[in-house]
Chain A
């Protein structure tokens, strides 16, 4: 028996902020005090709060230590582990807490979350099948083995689970199509080709709870009559792939993968296919082509994969998060429990990756129907630097933006669609007043334009032409009629593209024109970017009334464009200034003003 369990976040986010070094320092300290055998250390899954990583949670005390460095480990061992005293200064402290907070019950980031998919992340050792079984793992699969395939499909349908990869199609119905398709050989494919910028939901699930995905695939196979599966995961997720491989090996050792599984007439094996990272391979037919060893390009549908998918056989393709929900639904009484959370049309929870100008970046799992405001302010802690919320991009490059006026919009499939955005896979990129919406649309379109496979003309040529127009607008060369051209091209591309990439890539342009048309017009007619992003369309000026002459801006300027005496107002030499923005970022007195080129008007408001 161990005295305590120290769960160190070993997911990619915390690893990149140094959790490996923290673990090594902890081991060194435990060895120094000759107490290593008394405490269990696990490099576990992600507890979600990436902003404050590296994180260690000490159980059973449930103490949440954050922003750790190797130098803190001596104190954790000597004070907490040896003397039982909590190290206060390593607890979470934020503008949203009055006192240092210990764990879920007191940290506002967790207050509105509900853990279904992330139920085991940071709780179990992701490389241990025994711990997954202790947490109720593989029980739903055992139950599914004793059920008729149609019964399983019916349960998944009754739960109301909709695909978490983006389109939101009924998962149970999708399974039923494959079940009813004729053929001896059928496949299950897990789409782990998560490609949206700023999204890492699937990666965290795979890293933190890989057996949940295997169990979801096993149940799907049982329900649809499949006997082989593939996980298509991008090669840039090495930790997820490593943990999946370990999980598959363990499941085979335990007889949960292979032939005559648990004595039933049911065989299933799982292969991993590493993708090269093309965004279009997240589209199901392109993904299937890639598994088959062909170039990752989509094909027209019908036939849909449920009729003719991988190697021409009936295939079910589900996203990682969708599959992670399956064991919860197929367990005894699970369908009703699942359906009791969420809204009428969108059941269950959704995992979101919070990124951008938000205070609490990280991963959160919230009930469907929660409002944008609750996610941004209650979970996300509001906007960094106390700035104003401007919009949130939901659904990545295929999605759309939700402006501040719609902060009370409930997050569910139908409400997001009505607002011009999509649920997508769950990436939420938050923007403040310093984000230029024209530049944002240009960024997302440049991403999809580069990732377009080039097979169909509307996507290949259309995105290029739209991008040329957006580039022109951000360079001050736009014309008002460009907005009509963008609008008309966007709908043509949506209507005539072959796959989801082309059909959705104009969304960021359409939604920014819909909600921020004034910004486009300002770029075109006033040649002004009020966010201070499009460099040819603004100048910086120092407000002499506000400047205290602290010299911070002058020191931060990389081209020595700012001059002035100490404690006296400074000036910017516009001939030298490159509009890099260092000065405005550093100024604590709001004395740097963004103004139109060639005019001296105070437009800071």
Chain B
């Protein structure tokens, strides 16, 4: 998972054709539809790569 649009695992089904209503919140706070620390870590890794400081992320 290099971008938020990439699937974190096979449980994520968000695509342009099969959209998820929670997609935006899921990008930063997800996953929302399932629990998996590995999927949380994947999102965190994307954020940590570019967050310039502790106040960067706004939920």
CB proximity of A215 to chain B, nearest CB, Å: 10
* Interface flag for A565 (CB, 8 Å): no
Residues of A within 8 A of B58 (CB): 134-136
* Interface flag for A311 (CB, 8 Å): no
Q: Which of A1, A62, A123, A133 contacts B27 (CB 8 A)?
A: A133
Residues of B within 8 A of A60 (CB): 52-54
Interface membership of chain B positions 35-59, coded 1 if the CB is closer than 8 angstroms to chain A and 0 otherwise: 0000000000011111111101111
**Is the CB–CB distance between A254 and B49 below 8 Å?**
no
Which chain B residue lies CB-closest to A250? B5
Q: From A261-269, A363-371, A417-425, A497-505, give the one contacting chain B.
A: A261-269
Residues of B within 8 A of A135 (CB): 56-58
Interface size on B, residues (CB 8 A): 28
**Is the CB–CB distance between A59 and B16 below 8 Å?**
no
CA distance A7 to B27 in the complex (A): 24
* Interface flag for B32 (CB, 8 Å): no
Which chain A residue lies CB-closest to B58? A136
**Is the CB–CB distance between A59 and B52 below 8 Å?**
yes
Q: From A124-132, A271-279, A293-301, A538-546, give the one contacting chain B.
A: A124-132
**Is the CB–CB distance between B28 and A133 below 8 Å?**
yes
**Is the CB–CB distance between A142 and B50 below 8 Å?**
no
Q: Which of A5, A133, A258, A264 contacts B52 (CB 8 A)?
A: A5
CA distance A124 to B47 in the complex (A): 12
A123 and B19 in contact (CB under 8 A), knowing A134-B28, A139-B25, A142-B25? no
* Interface flag for A28 (CB, 8 Å): no
Residues of A within 8 A of B9 (CB): none
CA distance A469 to B46 in the complex (A): 64
**Is the CB–CB distance between B50 and A263 below 8 Å?**
no
Residues of B within 8 A of A260 (CB): 19
* Interface flag for B33 (CB, 8 Å): no
* Interface flag for A253 (CB, 8 Å): yes
A134 and B47 in contact (CB under 8 A), knowing A59-B52, A253-B5, A262-B23? yes
Interface membership of chain A positions 222-266, coded 1 if the CB is closer than 8 angstroms to chain B and 0 otherwise: 000000000000000000000000000000111100101111100
CB proximity of A256 to chain B, nearest CB, Å: 8
A139 and B53 in contact (CB under 8 A), knowing A133-B4, A253-B5, A261-B19? no
CB proximity of B48 to chain A, nearest CB, Å: 6
* Interface flag for A514 (CB, 8 Å): no
CA distance A264 to B19 in the complex (A): 9
Residues of A within 8 A of B19 (CB): 255, 260-263
**Is the CB–CB distance between A62 and B48 below 8 Å?**
no
Residues of A within 8 A of B56 (CB): 123, 134-135
Residues of B within 8 A of A7 (CB): 52
Residues of A within 8 A of B27 (CB): 130, 133-134
**Is the CB–CB distance between A138 and B16 below 8 Å?**
no
CA distance A106 to B27 in the complex (A): 35
Interface membership of chain A positions 132-155, coded 1 if the CB is closer than 8 angstroms to chain B and 0 otherwise: 011111110110011000000000
CA distance A131 to B22 in the complex (A): 18
Residues on A lying within 8 angstroms of B by beta carbon are 1-2, 5, 7, 40, 59-60, 62, 123-125, 128-131, 133-139, 141-142, 145-146, 252-255, 258, 260-264
Extra 13 A-B pairs, beta carbons < 8 Å, given A40-B49, A60-B53, A145-B21: A125-B50, A130-B3, A133-B24, A134-B47, A134-B57, A134-B58, A136-B59, A141-B24, A142-B23, A142-B25, A254-B16, A255-B14, A255-B23
Residues on B lying within 8 angstroms of A by beta carbon are 3-5, 14-16, 19-25, 27-28, 46-54, 56-59
The 13 sampled A-B contact pairs (Cβ below 8 Å) are A60-B52, A60-B54, A123-B56, A134-B47, A135-B56, A136-B59, A139-B24, A252-B16, A253-B16, A254-B4, A254-B23, A263-B21, A264-B21
